Amino acid sequence: MQSWSARPVPELPGQAAPPAVFDSRTRQVEQLPQQERASLYVCGITPYDATHLGHASTYVAFDLLHRAWLDAGMPVDYVQNVTDVDDPLLERADRDGVDWRDLAREQTDLFREDMTALNVIPPQHYLGATETLEWIVPAVEGLLAQGLAYRVQGEDGEPDGDVYFDVRAVAEAGDSIIPVLQPKVQGDEDGAPGPWSLGQISGLTRDEMLEVFGERGGDPERPGKRDIFDPLLWRVHREGEPFWEGGELGEGRPGWHIECSLISLKLLPAPFTVQGGGSDLVFPHHEMGAGHSWALSGRPMARNFVHTGMVGLDGHKMSKSLGNLELVSRLRERGVEPAAVRLAILSQHYREDWSWSQDVLTRAEARLTRWRMAADVAVEGSFADALDSVRDALADDLDSPRAIEAIDVWAEGVLVGGQRGSGDDLARQAIEARLGVVL
């Protein structure tokens, strides 16, 4: 699957410090290491209702991290998936009377257009779940062979053979895990978690997990599971559902979490630097993905787990089920400049919950106008002190509101009594390189 196009990131004088970010696993701000290459996996969309502002906020946030690494002199190996077959996609296609493949293609294309418009640096590897079956099938077969997964007998008309991950077996195996993937994947384990156990990533109790497991893709009421939280690895074929040849697994399709584990293990070191996504992915998706990765490789999935806050609309929860989504494509159709949408997102701290509104957008549009006016009349090089402040802010848990405030102070100084010149290219380059906002 192809990624999207991107503007080149301007090179800046000097070099920033590597950023620190809030790790959901340790629940504190962690300094990311200086590495020869950073590695980033951000979970992609299930392609329907793309691209809502919750999506946009997440991908802009990790683009901010990507740019922080680049300014610290570290190239980034960036991978993202597309869950191009899953129950929610099939349900939406059935509701709308369209072929699920057409819906997935249409929405993925729209997502790519929105990411290009928002100036998000694309991943080097952009893969759909349906493109990774040659990796998933033998991996699940290996988990079955080692007793780390099991088949469930069907009831109430359901077929036999669905394969589930055994969370207790993997936790009990601990360091004695024999990697399913050979040879053993190599990586840098400094600061990474050790042997996986349920709750290691999320820090939730079993009661807290149960509150959200069903609404976030789990099936707690499925009969025959050894543990209520065991996640699905392979769903055997049902009439009317898409399916693929699964070798010893039989015809069927993969569960949700296993795709990200296999894609990251195949394309990134283990552990890779940062696993990213929205806060609703901490459990079960990233929790189970970390378990799958440990069972498959005997190594932690990621060194750090970083998550973005949820985005509401006009003070209310924004969700697909409520039907109150604001889409980037609709904003663009109404003539809203994508740079203003991006700046509105960056005016909020990435890990705080917040609400989109017309007021948030209006303030961003006015700010964008002021910055452009200042950049056009400033003395060349006047932005140097502001650049230091921007770098300091973004090194401190990607504090984009503080970085924006530093630029506001510079712009105000230029526009109100400051020395005038023929324009400051450093300002334009720095604001694009660090915030991704094109002046």
Alpha carbon distances (Å) from 424 to 259, 292, 377, 415: 46, 50, 7, 13
408 annotated ligand binder: no
Q: Establish if 114 belongs to a structural domain.
A: yes
pLDDT at 7: 94
- Region for 436 from its dihedrals, namely left if φ exceeds 0, alpha if ψ lies in -120 to 50, beta otherwise: left
Does residue 156 contact residue 173 with C-beta atoms inside 8 Å?
no
Do 124 and 224 belong to one domain?
yes
For 97, the 3-state DSSP assignment is: coil
CA distances from 367 to 306, 363, 371, 408, 415 (A): 28, 6, 6, 8, 13
44 annotated among ligand-binding-site residues: yes
pLDDT given at position 322: 67
Domain boundary among 276, 291, 312: 312
Beta-sheet strands, E only, within 226-322: 232-236, 252-254, 272-278, 302-308, 311-313, 316-317
Q: What's residue 187's pLDDT?
A: 77
Establish whether 228 is an annotated binding residue: no
Residue 346 lies inside a defined structural domain of this protein: no
Q: How many residues does the chain have?
A: 439
pLDDT at 252: 98
Verify that 307 and 166 share a domain, yes or no. Answer: yes
Task: Determine whether the annotation assigns residue 336 to a binding site.
Answer: no
- 15 in a domain, yes or no? no
Of 272, 330, 350, the residue nearest 80 (C-alpha)? 272
Order of all β-strands in the sheet with 252-254: 149-152, 162-165, 232-236, 252-254
Asked if 153 and 160 touch (Cβ cutoff 8 Å), the reply is: yes
Element (H, E) at 263: helix 257-267
Q: Is 45 assigned to a binding site?
A: yes
> DSSP alpha helices (H): ranges in 12-117?
53-71, 87-96, 100-117
Preceding peptide of 183 cis, ω within 30°: yes
415 close to 379: Cβ distance less than 8 angstroms: no
Quote the pLDDT of residue 320: 64
What was the pLDDT predicted at 184? 61
Domain shared by 241 and 379, yes or no: no
Residue 234 lies in a domain: yes
Distance CA 11, CA 329 (A): 30
420 shares a domain with 304: no
Tell me if 247 is assigned to a ligand binding site: no
Q: Both 45 and 141 in a single domain?
A: yes
User: Do the annotations mark residue 43 as ligand-binding?
Assistant: yes
Calpha distance 231→105 (Å, rounded): 27
Report yes or no on 200 lying in a domain: yes
308 is in an annotated binding site: no
248 CB contacts (<8 Å, ≥6 apart)? 141, 144
**Of 256, 284, 312, which closes a domain?**
312
| Order of strands across the sheet that contains 311-313 | 316-317, 311-313, 354-356
Answer yes or no: is 25 within a domain.
no
Please identify which residue in the block is written with the tokens 């994947």: 185
What are the phi and psi torsion angles at 385 (to 5°)?
Answer: -65, -40
Cα dist. 304→294, 374, 404 in Å? Answer: 15, 38, 26
In a domain, 368, yes or no: yes
Total domain count, the chain: 2
Q: Which domain holds residue 138?
A: 33-312
- Together in a domain, 385 and 297: no
pLDDT for residue 262: 97
187-237 tens-digit pLDDT: 778 889 999 999 999 999 999 999 999 999 999 999 999 999 999 999 999
Distance CA 133, CA 258 (A): 10
- Within 8 A by CB and 6+ apart from 45, the residues are 51, 55, 82, 83, 107, 108, 111
Closest CA to 139 of 276, 274, 260: 260
Clarify whether residues 121 and 247 are in a common domain: yes
Are 263 and 402 contained in the same domain? no
280 annotated among ligand-binding-site residues? yes
- CATH number of the structural domain spanning residue 413: 1.20.120.640
Beta bridge partners of 78: 40
Q: Is 29 annotated as a binding residue?
A: no
Whole-angstrom Cα distance, residue 212 to residue 198? 15
CATH number at residue 253: 3.40.50.620
Same domain, 189 and 61: yes
Q: Is residue 411 part of a domain?
A: yes
Last residue of a domain, one of 278, 312, 346: 312
For residue 321, what pLDDT is reported? 63
Q: Tell whether 311 is in a known binding site.
A: yes
Q: Is 258 annotated as a binding residue?
A: no
Residues 424, 290, single domain; the answer is no
From first to last of its 439 residues, what are the pLDDT tens digits of the chain?
999 998 999 999 999 999 999 999 999 999 999 999 999 999 999 999 999 999 999 999 999 999 999 999 999 999 999 999 999 999 999 999 999 999 999 999 999 999 999 999 999 999 999 999 999 999 999 999 999 999 999 988 889 999 999 999 999 999 999 898 876 677 778 889 999 999 999 999 999 999 999 999 999 999 999 999 999 999 999 999 999 999 999 999 999 999 999 999 999 999 999 999 999 999 999 999 999 999 999 999 999 999 999 999 988 777 666 677 899 999 999 999 999 999 999 999 999 999 999 999 999 999 999 999 999 999 999 999 999 999 999 999 999 999 999 999 999 999 998 788 999 999 999 999 999 999 9
pLDDT tens-digit readout, 301-351:
999 999 999 999 988 777 666 677 899 999 999 999 999 999 999 999 999
277 lies in the same domain as 423: no
Q: Is 347 annotated as a binding residue?
A: no
Pair 265, 369 in one domain: no
